[in-house]
Amino acid sequence: MSVKEILQLGNPKLWERSTPVEDPKSLSYLIQDLSDTLAAFREGRGYGRAIAAPQIGVQKRLVFVRMQGFCGAFINPEIISASDEKIELWDDCFSFPDLLVRVSRSLSIEVVYRDEAGSKQTIRASGDLSELLQHEIDHLDGILAVQRAVSDKAFATRSEWERMILKASKES
């Protein structure tokens, strides 16, 4: 039960595929670590909604989410269907907090997973939760948002991105 170091872009462990969890009920320490690490990041930076186990160097298929309307662990999550309709958005990641990447994600998805009690669950996610889960499940496959960039110019530093958003809001 502690705040762990978050692996940063360039660390080869982030490119590795994580292995399935065999006993979902054995994960309470890991879930607590993810929850603590997420809370600390959020306190330091003012944002952050989810974290994947490989980001703290544990290569297990586990994601922890805390956002409005949902708080909990997704164990062995699997996307079983995805809408053809896509959304484009600026994505960020704890593993490269000062870089934004423009990505395309499915507007809605259906995910099966195990909860902390080991029960099988199915969730239909759309909007924020949909894009968030796609980002986190990518982590479990060793895929980072930088690999999902919609073009070779789809990158911005956080300060430049903030300037862009501010300008757009003044213009609208």
Q: Is 5 a catalytic residue?
A: no
The residues with which 60 forms a beta bridge, in sequence order, are 19
Nearer to Zn ion by C-beta: 27 or 93? 93
Helix (H) or strand (E) holding 64: strand 62-67
Neighbours of 168 (CB within 10 A): 9
Nearer to Zn ion by C-beta: 105 or 119? 105
First to last CA, the chain: 46
The residues with which 101 forms a beta bridge, in sequence order, are 91, 155
Contact between 62 and Zn ion per CB under 5 A: no
Nearer to Zn ion by C-beta: 92 or 113? 92
The residue from 22, 116, 136, 171 that is catalytic is 136
Q: Which of residues 93-112 bind Zn ion (CB under 5 A)?
A: 93
H helices present in 14-157, as ranges: 28-45, 127-140
Task: Pick the stretch among 3-11, 16-24, 25-33, 89-97 that binds Zn ion (CB under 5 A).
Answer: 89-97
Q: Residues interacting with Zn ion, by CB under 5 A? A: 93
